[in-house]
Amino acid sequence: MDFGKYKYELAQKAREAKRNQVQTVIKEIKLRPKIDDHDYITKKGHVERFLKHGDKVKVTIMFRGREQSRPEVGLRLLSRLAEDITDVGFVESTPKQDGRNMVMVIAPVRKGSKSKQKKSADSTLETKED
């Protein structure tokens, strides 16, 4: 076999593999613990848009001054956000305190996984009916 031909075929395979790769993009949304309802709805809309586009979202809550002594407020806000976007995303990494910030990563729900879940739910219903 010709070495030049072999090298060319390897380059073609590498190029094809690179073409099929999907780049994961992480978008970041920053919140404050004392966020107003309308501002929260706006930020939640941004998160939903990013997730529908297929990007992961890093949600950061920034604490200042006395707010640092009340991390449960930030935890409550992140859990509220996680509940509000369950149809388009799921929590990939749970909230963690990182200095003055609390961070959580949300990943988009894969389209194929919903149909698999639906099929498995249908199959369990069919077995119960039998």
User: Which among 90, 124, 95, 91 is positioned nearest to 110, based on CA atoms?
Assistant: 90
The distance between the two most distant Cα atoms of the chain, rounded to a whole number of Å, is: 72
CATH class of 23-129: alpha beta
Radius of gyration of the chain (CA): 22
pLDDT tens, the chain, 130 aa long: 689 999 999 999 999 888 877 778 899 999 999 999 999 999 999 999 999 998 999 999 999 999 999 999 999 999 999 999 999 999 999 999 989 999 999 999 987 655 544 554 455 455 555 5
Residue boundaries of the structural domains of the chain:
23-129
Q: Where do we find the tokens 């404050």?
A: 32
Helices 37-53/71-84 angle, 10° precision: 50
- The count of other CB atoms within 10 Å of the CB of residue 108 is 20
Q: Give the count of alpha carbons within 13 A of 19, CB side only.
A: 6
